[in-house]
Structure 1
Amino acid sequence: MWLGFVGVVVFALTLPMTRLATGTSEAPQLSPWFVTWARAAMAGLLSAVWLAVSRAPWPTGPMRRPLWLSMAGNVIGYPLLLGWALRHVTATHAAVITALLPLTTAVAAAWLMHQRARLGFWACAALGSLLVVAYSLLRTNQAGQRFGLEWADLLLIGAVLAASVGYVGGAQITPTLGAERTISWVCVFALPLTLSGTWLTWPATGVSTTAWLGLLYVGLFSMWIGFFAWFRGLALGGALRVSQLQLLQPFISMVAAVPLLGERIDTMSWGFALLVVVTVFAGRRLAGPAPSPPTPAHHTHKERP
């Protein structure tokens, strides 16, 4: 449970640390493109060393498709969309939207892994999505803008969906390849793309020290070390039990944004985050397999002697 909690804290700090790295639209720092490539390149180089030291076997052919899927979602899609969104919304705002991640991951698993779920689970998924939309609409209205979804919220929803697909891709081969090796191979497979992307998008002008520290955090911890603690905690304590700690993640993100970014948490953000987490909790309780349709019984008639 402690390892799982460490993993949740590491991932929760990803939001404020990413905003430190990218800056805001008024005071931009590192490009979201550069942050995406550089964080994965750091993790990839560390992964290559770790895989070589541990003498990990090369993934076989059938393992590579899920690895590519995880790379597309977790290495490219999630950090890139998150980085662009966090230039325009606060980390507290993003924490409410990304609180849907456990639920959307379950939806992705039901879709990609052909797992059936009960009707109550889908109702919770729909309710959680409606809460996120309502939060975005109210936020836009408070800002005095046109009543509609902010494009930054669409980026956050895309980031959540990308991460969900990436998580399911990794989950498909984790039982065979091992948890730590899965995330390491994902980062290594991405190295040709991330190293070249880092070089091509290297900042031409100076940025603040805090932006570089934010990048260092998301590269070392969010993209690599956090997965080691999280996956190991799931393996030792059981995925069903330890994964419940993920419900704390949006609140840790919101609290961390106060000292790191100087943000203020209003009542509406607390309330919507709590409501979304309740739907995630209820959805997990109702995520068991749906009952199979009854098969017609075959009656046999005993013959009279």
Structure 2
Amino acid sequence: MTDIALTAPPISDKTKGLIYGFLGVLVFSGSLPATRAAVADFDPIFVTGARAVIAGVLGAAMLFALKAKRPEKRDLLPLIGVTLGVVVIWPLMIAFSLKVVPSAHGTMFIGLLPLMTAIFGVLRGGERPKLRFWLFAVAGSALVVGYAFFSNGLSLSTPDLFMLIGVTVCGYGYAEGAQLTRRLGGWQAISWALVFGMPLMLTLSFFYAPADFHAVHAASWLGLIYAGLMAMLVGFIFWYRGLALGGTASVGLLQLTQPFFSFVIAFLFLGEAISGAMIAITVAVVACVVAARRSA
């Protein structure tokens, strides 16, 4: 008898991109609850600076130890975009917002991120998704944002404006990061962006540090550490790799599911309520993600 070798079919880059992207989403899901815990005792500006410093030190160590490729001149613009979008402005906006509102409310605006990422992916990366992709992307985002507005009495508060500004610049940073990842690698892209922003973030951390660190509760310390180590570094290693392999627009849609993972984390660790309407929206949004993925 002839032995028949059984080999598993190779995993495509798009499938790998979805897997990496999903792992990134899981890590990011704890970002807003962690930030909410951190700003309970820390100044929002300090949280923004300190989380970047934590991630930046580790990122710089990896770049040095592994002798990573240095960015070229053509990488300067994307690098600035990533630094401003995901290292500075996005964390600052959510920190200001979550100083006032629960993380569950702020989390709803994350639903806009896939749409913003896809738009900037088209503008900067030359991607051209089909019309049906856009319809499902808009539908999924509208479900999330619509819920946020209805639950807030159809009002647009200052924290809401902070979140809208944040998701816009973050979408730009994600798209630029995908471009950098294709040339430098996922962890290299976010690490160089963190190093690039280190002087500013060290300055913010110094001037807005609390007068008495002993008065800070353990929950705030844990929130800050998670925001710096996981959400600011580890999550981006997975996320940028996923965007580069699977396509910015397609993989970016996975972030439509992030609000609902965040709800679970907020419920378990912060005691925030999760309504039946949130569960219903979750099912509808996941359906939009699946439909859009098939239409991309």
Provide TM-score, normalisation by structure 2: 0.83
User: Is the counterpart of residue 21 in structure 1 residue 27 in structure 2?
Assistant: no
- Give per-residue Cα distances to partners, 1:219-270, cap 9 Å, x unaligned: 11111122234455677xx526977754542221111111210111012223
User: Is the counterpart of residue 136 in structure 1 residue 148 in structure 2?
Assistant: yes
**Which structure's CA Rg is the greater one?**
1
Range 35-44 or range 98-107, more displaced: 98-107
Structure 1 contact 103–280 (Cα < 8 Å) conserved: no
More helix by share: 2
Q: Which runs of 5+ in 1 are unaligned?
A: 24-28, 142-146, 288-305
Question: In structure 2, the residue corresponding to 1:259 is in which secondary structure?
Answer: helix
RMSD: 2.5
Structure 1 contact 92–263 (Cα < 8 Å) conserved: yes
Quickly say closer, same or farther: Cα 1:44–1:149, change in 2 above 3 A.
same
Aligned counterpart, 2:194? 187
* Structure 2 Cα separation of the partners of residues 276 and 45 of structure 1: 37
Aligned counterpart, 1:101? 113
User: Is the counterpart of residue 268 in structure 1 residue 277 in structure 2?
Assistant: yes
User: Is the counterpart of residue 9 in structure 1 residue 26 in structure 2?
Assistant: yes
Matched ranges for 1:122-133 at <5 A = 122-133=134-145
* Structure 1 Cα separation of the partners of residues 149 and 181 of structure 2: 39
Aligned counterpart, 1:48? 60
Aligned counterpart, 2:229? 220
Quickly say closer, same or farther: Cα 1:123–1:230, change in 2 above 3 A.
closer
Structure 1 contact 247–281 (Cα < 8 Å) conserved: no
Residue type of the alignment partner of 1:17: A
Range 242-251 or range 172-181, more displaced: 242-251
- Give per-residue Cα distances to partners, 1:32-60, cap 9 Å, x unaligned: 11111111111111111111111123211
User: Is the counterpart of residue 30 in structure 1 residue 51 in structure 2?
Assistant: no
Among all aligned residue pairs of Structure 1 and Structure 2, give the percentage whose two residues are the same amino acid. 40
User: Is the counterpart of residue 201 in structure 1 residue 208 in structure 2?
Assistant: yes
Structure 2 contact 174–240 (Cα < 8 Å) conserved: no
Matched residue pairs, number? 275
Question: In structure 2, the residue corresponding to 1:59 is in which secondary structure?
Answer: coil
* Structure 2 Cα separation of the partners of residues 11 and 194 of structure 1: 20
Question: In structure 2, the residue corresponding to 1:100 is in which secondary structure?
Answer: helix
* Structure 1 Cα separation of the partners of residues 143 and 255 of structure 2: 19
User: Is the counterpart of residue 75 in structure 1 residue 87 in structure 2?
Assistant: yes
Question: In structure 2, the residue corresponding to 1:211 is in which secondary structure?
Answer: helix
Residue type of the alignment partner of 2:295: L
Kindly state the Cα deviation for residue 130 of structure 1 after the two structures are TM-superposed: 3.7
User: Is the counterpart of residue 121 in structure 1 residue 133 in structure 2?
Assistant: yes
Aligned counterpart, 2:155? 148
Quickly say closer, same or farther: Cα 1:101–1:242, change in 2 above 3 A.
closer
* Structure 1 Cα separation of the partners of residues 251 and 72 of structure 2: 30
Quickly say closer, same or farther: Cα 1:117–1:234, change in 2 above 3 A.
closer
* Structure 1 Cα separation of the partners of residues 246 and 121 of structure 2: 14
Q: Which runs of 5+ in 2 are unaligned?
A: 1-15
* Structure 1 Cα separation of the partners of residues 246 and 284 of structure 2: 23
Structure 1 contact 34–201 (Cα < 8 Å) conserved: yes
User: Is the counterpart of residue 162 in structure 1 residue 162 in structure 2?
Assistant: no
Quickly say closer, same or farther: Cα 1:129–1:86, change in 2 above 3 A.
same
Residue type of the alignment partner of 1:107: I
Kindly state the Cα deviation for residue 4 of structure 1 after the two structures are TM-superposed: 5.1
Structure 2 contact 111–140 (Cα < 8 Å) conserved: no
Structure 1 contact 136–149 (Cα < 8 Å) conserved: no
Aligned counterpart, 2:122? 110
Aligned counterpart, 1:26? none
Aligned counterpart, 2:10? none
Aligned counterpart, 2:9? none
Counterpart of 2:99 (choices 80, 87, 99) is 87
* Structure 2 Cα separation of the partners of residues 249 and 262 of structure 1: 18
Structure 2 contact 31–227 (Cα < 8 Å) conserved: yes
* Structure 2 Cα separation of the partners of residues 104 and 277 of structure 1: 18
